[in-house]
Every structure is written in structure tokens, then in C-alpha cells.
Amino acid sequence: MHTMKIQTLVLTCLIFSSFLANNDCSAQSTAQTIADVSPKVVKIFGAGGGKNLYAYGTGFLVSPQGHIVTVWSHILDSDTVAIVLNDGRRYEGKVVGFEPPLDLAVLKIEADGLPYFDLNLATSAGPGARVLGFSNAFKVATGDEPVSVIHGVIAAKTTLAARRGAFESPYTGSVYVVDAVTNNAGAAGGALTTWDGRLLGMIGKELRNTQTNTWLNYVMPISELSETVEQIITGRFQSKKQDEEEGGSLTKKKPRRYDANDFGIITIPDVVARTPAYIDRILPGSPAETAGLQPNDLILFVGNDLVQSCQTLKEELGRLESGDQLKIVVRREDKLITVSMPVVKKVVE
């Protein structure tokens, strides 16, 4: 766990507590906001737990029928996940839709009459706006314990694409850069709100600059996600990947021109239905060695597509064509690392 981030988190909470103690009106207003928002935030428990992949996260309710918005991640790599509400009630959650380029997933639990964020009432904010971040950072809540609440200020609104290379991510849209330690382990999928509790956006995954050892605290504006969320809930959504498949590969399967060995990647044996795509070894002198991949790296993304298993990796690499640029995102211990390799023409295809 990141010691420096935890210390900063504690310091932020202490400063926030001191601020409230010296401002009775703000304390009363903020206490009410926390009481109103917390029941709309859920804790998510799913796949992970090994190789420094935490098995918990956060989401927030967007319908009284139990639709939940969260990030698309390895935690959802199972048939169902456990959803724990603010009052400790536990439900079985299922993924009803996702869009990896937006880092977005929508889950559903069988419940009704739940408190929720009305996406039609969501808002936006600019630099200097005071905000509150709600999440299950560091797994502080497993039952009816309250989630963490972090006070911060929006420092800027920019595009994440401007920070690629330093902070590589499948999502490249607009983000709020927040002056607060929001993006901790387990916090992804949490809600950012205004001081009075209006929804602003979804807290993103941990992104680290490996050159400067700094972390980016960012939030995806709900305006970037709401249309896709509504389409998923109403059953009208079809991901870009599905469009591509229905345009050809479902009726006429594309030949698999490339596999992991072509890049010098040897994965662990594919022995179960969802064997994680861990790298067992790298062939000397291969493109993978040149790119810096290492044994025990877990392949998470090929391009913008989530790799859920060795089989998924095989399928994604099989779609490549000569002249493409292969981008792979791996998790190495507690870091996300992105590498690129050219797809060169094979002697025999």
C-alpha cells in the first residue's frame, strides 16, 4: 500500500476536520451532504486479491432499480460480484454493459426503491470549485461502515490525452484534475460531488507517472459518461467492439494472423476458463524484451480492449494485421505500465 498516499490522506482528513470544527454553518451543511450522498455509494467486491490486484472497488447508484456505475476493471472479471450498500445489505451484482474506451461499466442488483443520483440533475464545475469525493478507498468499509469522504478543489479541467505518455490510460476524454488524494486503491468508481451533493463525475483508476513517481488525481465528468450509461440501462447500447464483430467477424471469423509468441511473450498455461494473462517468460531478443515487458507482468489491455484471460489475449492478438501498432497495458506489482510494439509482416501468414 502506498505509505505516502495514506499519510497524505490522513493529513487531508485532519485538515478537513479542523475546517469543519471552525465553521459551524459549513459543518452542518457538509454533514447533511454526506448523509444524503453516502447511501447512493456502494462497495464492490470481486475478482483479484493476488499479484497486488486488490479485489474491491466503488460504485454509485443511478436508478432506484439498482443500476450502478463503476469503472471497467479486473474486479468485474467474474460471473457476479458482491455489492454492499451503505446500510450493510449485500446483493449479487451482474454486469449489464460496459465500454472500455470510457473505462465504464454498469452493474445491476435486484432491488427497488434505492436512493440514487439522477443523471438528469448532474452538473459540472470549473477550477476552484470545492468538491467532495466518496469512495471505498483502502477497503475501509466492508459492511455498514461509511465510505471515505475527501474534501478537495478542482484544479483544472483538461483532456487526459494531453497527459498520455506520462499517464497512459484507455480513457482519453476530459477530466477534472482534483487537488485532493482521490485516486487510491479501491477508490475507482467512486463519486465526486459538489459541496451540496450534486454529482460531478466518477473517480478514475490509479495513474502513476513512473518517471517522476507522482500520482494523478482525476475524475471523469459525468457528462462524458451519462449518454452511454442511459443507453446501457435502456438496452440500446452497443459497444464499438460489438459493432466491429457484427460487421464481419460474427458471420465470417477473421483468421488469427498473430499470437503472443510472435512478439516473444510466453503466458502461463491456459488451464481454466479465465486463466489471467500473466507473462511466464519473455524470449531473448524479441520485440517484447525490447519494449520492456517482464515475467509476472499481468496483461490488462490490448489497445482499448480489456484482457480478461489468456483466451481473450489470444483473440485480441489474432485480430492484428501487419502495419498495426500493438499497445499493451500491464500491471507490474502496484504500477500500470504501457508499452508499444510494431506489428511486422510475418514470413508466413
pLDDT cut 90: percent of the chain above it: 56
* Chain segment 41-57, per-residue pLDDT in tens: 999 999 877 656 789 99
**Tell me, what CATH number does 253's domain have?**
2.30.42.10
Classified as helix, coil or strand, 241 is helix
Residues 313 and 225 in one domain: no
pLDDT at residue 250 tops 50: no
pLDDT digits (tens, 9 = 90+) for 280-290: 999 999 999 99
347 within a domain of the structure (yes/no): no
Domain boundary (178, 209, 234) is at 234
pLDDT classification of 110: cutoffs 50, 70, 90:
very high
In a domain, 150, yes or no: yes
Q: How far is 151 from 45, CA to CA, in rounded Å?
A: 25
State the CB neighbour count (10 A cutoff) for residue 259. Answer: 14
**The Cα angle at residue 124 between residues 121 and 63, in degrees rounded to 5:** 30
Kindly state whether residues 185 and 270 are assigned to the same domain.
no
pLDDT at 313 over 80: yes
pLDDT at 262 over 80: yes
Residue where a domain terminates, one of 234, 261, 289:
234
Name, in order, each residue with C-beta under 8 angstroms of 157's C-beta and a sequence gap of 6 or more. 126, 127, 174, 175, 176, 177, 221
- Same-domain status, 27 and 171: yes
**Domain-located, residue 199:** yes
Give CA–CA dist 3/110, Å, rounded.
Answer: 38
Average pLDDT over residues 19-32: 59
181 and 310 inside one domain: no
Note whether 201 and 284 are same-domain residues: no
* 240-264: average pLDDT: 61
Count structural domains, the chain: 2
What pLDDT is stored for residue 121 in this prediction? 95
Model confidence at 273: pLDDT above 50: yes
* pLDDT class of 169 with cuts at 50, 70, 90: low
Domain C-terminal end among 234, 251, 273: 234
pLDDT at 103 over 80: yes
User: pLDDT per residue over 180-229, tens digit each?
Assistant: 989 999 999 999 999 999 999 999 988 866 556 678 899 999 999 999 99
- Cα–Cα–Cα angle for 244, 189, 109, rounded to 5 degrees: 80
Which structural domain range is residue 278 located in? Answer: 240-342
C-alpha dihedral over 73, 75, 81, 87, to 10 degrees?
-90
